[in-house]
Chains A and B, each alone.
Chain A
Amino acid sequence: MHQLPQTLVNGLALGALYGLIAIGYTMVYGIVQLINFAHGEIVMIGAFGALTIHLWLPGGTPLPAALPLMLIGGAIASVAVATAAERFAYRPLRTAPRLAPLITAIGLSIALQQIVWAFYPDAKKSRGFPQFQGDAFELAGNLHLQRDDLFVLIAAPLCMLALGLFVAKSRTGRAMQATAQDPDTAKLMGINTDRIIVLAFAIGGAFAAVAAVAQGLRAGQINFEMGFILGLKAFTAAVLGGIGNIYGAMLGGVVLGIAEAAASTYIQHIPGMQQLGGGGWKDVWAFALLILVLLIRPQGLLGERVADRA
């Protein structure tokens, strides 16, 4: 049990990262009922955008100074690709059967991976990503917080709260809610729903870039395939929390992150399950949790039953 606080801290950092990506899935789904399976690749693109800025900056630029610029670079790359995907891949299919955009998303996901693999310098293997220097922070005796985790633990709640306020209070945010609830009627109010949809993709892209930088810091490296498992986990988090709900996405991320950390720490101590514990099996437990939630509470933790669309 003495490992519990450390497990929670690790899980929280991982979960905050999942949550940031999950918000991108949930925003887009909430407005166009599309699972953008290329969203993991939007994260990957953001990571390479941030790395590009890092490589441009003069050597020896301290990381705290470089970080804001890297975030901007990552966000520009992610937002550009996400909105282009909406405009050229998804919008022409908006009235098509739902399978068509889904297959398009998978195709786009593979295409984006291959483009980075083929054209980004040295991207055929992992590329190093800068990390903070120095030891982990000691929060209490034996309880540590990795320096690189501090970033996501600050950025994720800030991003989520800012988005929550924007959606609830601003004129554009209200237009987003109206478009999510009833797109045709939103048009009758004078809302340009095409622009609202682009905005949802753009916000998802910006959050993906923040998550990408967080992941780069944690791992110290990025690669063209990194979006696949991150995207899948974040999708799980979005469903777990109740797809379409911003706070649900973050909650789902945190629950998933903690579950994963707990599974890697504890399952190996259960008699007879030694070989099912440790980091190697954490993905299995994460997806087992998804299946469990889908069986018990298919609308997710904070989701509403889908019945109110008359």
Chain B
Amino acid sequence: MTALLEVNGLRVAYGKIEAVKGISFSVEAGQIVTLIGTNGAGKTTTLRTLSGLLKPLAGTIRFDGRPLAGIPAHRIVALGLAHSPEGRHIFPRLTIAENLQLGAFLRKDGEAIAKDVQRVYDLFPILGERARQAAGTLSGGEQQMLAMGRALMSRPKLLMLDEPSMGLSPIMMQRIMATITELKASGTTILLVEQNARAALSLADRGHVMEIGKIVLSGTGADLLHDESVRKAYLGED
């Protein structure tokens, strides 16, 4: 069986600075795969390249059996790859309902869209209560919920979440992590980028540790959680 996402020898540069220096990994349908690592490791750059916002220098990306090379960002979401970006990037002056509608921008099935909006409200009741409010008025955690809900509105085959726990209170973070588990249970495949390594590895089927543009260690979530070097470097243990 081929993987849903296959990344091979991916290199990405900003001008002369190479941020991703030849990484390979894959995501099987139904899995949660996480990329962990410190700031500047190249995790966000990897996701932005997968969704077409950045052009790779070299390497191949195959998604759902087809190469993504040369496909512009606005066409990639139509293939089933949704991206909830780092820093949430909700549309602050549009309402919550309008943000969710934009998540379904390319869909034409009005009734199913309405059902999916309701599903997001069931997942995050606060969003339903504030549907007509400008998204910029939400708290950070609520904005994160909206960003995730918005990404789900395209009914993706693969959901990419970039730092969903960033800047959240511990309670809010637990909610988000619980939601990711729920999403997996409902069959969504997830590629999760996190600085909170412990939370990410506890959920993940597989994890990859990135350091300055390279994958230095790969394994199952549980393996990495118990790996000596990971514990020292990323879990804050001696």
Q: Which A residues have a C-beta under 8 Å from some C-beta of B?
A: 171, 174-175, 177-178, 181-182, 184-193, 308, 310
Interface centre among B52, B89, B92, B150 (most CB of A within 10 A): B89
Within 8 Å of chain A (Cβ to Cβ): is B51? Answer: yes
Contact A188 B53 (CB under 8 A): yes
B132 close to chain A: CB less than 8 A: no
B144 interfacial contact with A, CB 8 Å: no
Contact with A along B203-233 (1 / 0, CB 8 A): 0000000000000000000000000000000
In the complex, 15 of the A-B residue pairs with CB atoms within 8 angstroms, ordered by the A residue number, are A171-B105, A174-B101, A177-B91, A181-B92, A181-B93, A184-B89, A186-B102, A188-B51, A188-B83, A189-B106, A190-B78, A190-B105, A191-B102, A193-B74, A310-B88
The closest CB in chain B to the CB of A310 belongs to: B87
Q: How far is the CA of A192 from the CA of B102 in the complex (A)?
A: 13
Contact A184 B53 (CB under 8 A): yes
Among A178, A182, A188, A189, residue most surrounded by chain B Cβ atoms (within 10 Å):
A188
Contacting residue for B106 out of A174, A178, A182, A190, CB 8 A: A190
In the complex, chain A residues whose CB is within 8 Å of the CB of B27: none
Among A171, A177, A184, chain B packs the most CB atoms within 10 A around the CB of A184
Closest to B52 in A: A187
B 87-100 binary contact with A (CB < 8 Å = 1; else 0): 11101111000100
Q: Which residues of chain A come closer than 8 Å to B91, judged between CB atoms?
A: 177-178, 181-182, 185
Of listed A177, A178, A192, residue having the most chain B CB within 10 A: A178
Kindly provide the distance from the CB of A64 to the nearest chain B CB, expressed in whole angstroms: 41
Task: Determine whether B77 belongs to the interface, using a CB cutoff of 8 Å to chain A.
Answer: yes
Residues of B within 8 A of A171 (CB): 105
Judge whether A189 and B77 touch: CB under 8 Å. yes
Inter-chain contacts of A178 with B (CB < 8 A): 91, 94, 102
> CA separation between A190 and B87, bound complex, in Å?
19
Is B42 part of the contact surface with A, judged by Cβ < 8 Å? no
Residues of A within 8 Å of B73, CB to CB, are 184, 187-188
Q: Which of B77, B78, B102 contacts A174 (CB 8 A)?
A: B102
Residues in A whose Cβ lies below 8 Å from that of B106: 189-190
C-alpha gap A181/B88 in the complex (Å): 13
Is B141 an interface residue when CB atoms closer than 8 A count as contact?
A: no
Query: B92-140: which have CB < 8 Å to A?
Result: 92-94, 98, 101-103, 105-106, 136
Out of B83, B88, B92, B98, which one reaches A308, CB within 8 Å? B92
Q: Which residue of A lies closest to B98 (CB)?
A: A174
Interface string of B41-81 (1 = CB under 8 A from A): 00000000001110000000000000000001111011000
| Contact status of A191 and B74, CB under 8 A, knowing A174-B94, A308-B92 | yes
Q: Which residue of A has the minimal Cβ distance to B54? A: A184
B85 near A177 with CB under 8 A, answer no
Which has the most chain A C-beta neighbours within 10 Å: B53, B91, B106, B136?
A: B91
Report B-chain residues with C-beta under 8 Å of the C-beta of A177: 91, 93-94
CA A185 to CA B52, docked complex, whole Å: 11
CB A62 to nearest CB in B, in angstroms, measures 46
* Neighbouring A residues of B89 by C-beta, 8 Å: 182, 184-185, 310
The answer to the question of B189 belonging to the interface, with a C-beta cut-off of 8 Å to chain A, is: no
Indicate whether B188 reaches chain A with its CB closer than 8 angstroms: no
- Which of A181, A190, A192 has most chain B Cβ within 10 Å? A190
Q: How far is the CA of A181 from the CA of B103 in the complex (A)?
A: 15
| A184, B73: Cα distance in complex, Å | 9
Q: Please tell me if B31 contacts chain A, counting CB pairs below 8 Å.
A: no
Name the residue of chain B whose CB is nearest to the CB of A304. Answer: B93
User: When chains A and B are docked, how far (Å) is the Cα of A219 from the Cα of B72?
Assistant: 48
Bound together, the chains give a CA A275 to CA B94 distance in angstroms of 51
Using A178-B102, A188-B73, A189-B103 as known contacts, list a sample of 14 further A-B pairs with CB atoms less than 8 Å apart, ordered by residue number in A: A171-B105, A174-B101, A177-B91, A177-B93, A182-B89, A184-B73, A185-B85, A187-B53, A187-B72, A187-B73, A188-B82, A188-B83, A189-B105, A192-B74
B82 contact set on A, CB distance < 8 A: 188
**Whole-angstrom CA separation of A257 from B157 in the bound complex:** 55
B154 within 8 Å of A by Cβ?
yes
Supposing A177-B93, A182-B89, A308-B92 touch, asked if A189 and B53 sit within 8 A by C-beta, the answer is no
* Residue numbers in A under 8 Å from B101 (CB-CB): 174
The smallest beta-carbon distance between A177 and chain B, in angstroms, is 6
Q: A189, B94: Cβ atoms under 8 Å?
A: no
Within 8 A of A (CB), among B128-182: 136, 150, 154
B128 to chain A, nearest CB (A): 20
Bound together, the chains give a CA A120 to CA B105 distance in angstroms of 45
Chain A residues near B102 (CB-CB < 8 A) = 174-175, 178, 186, 189, 191
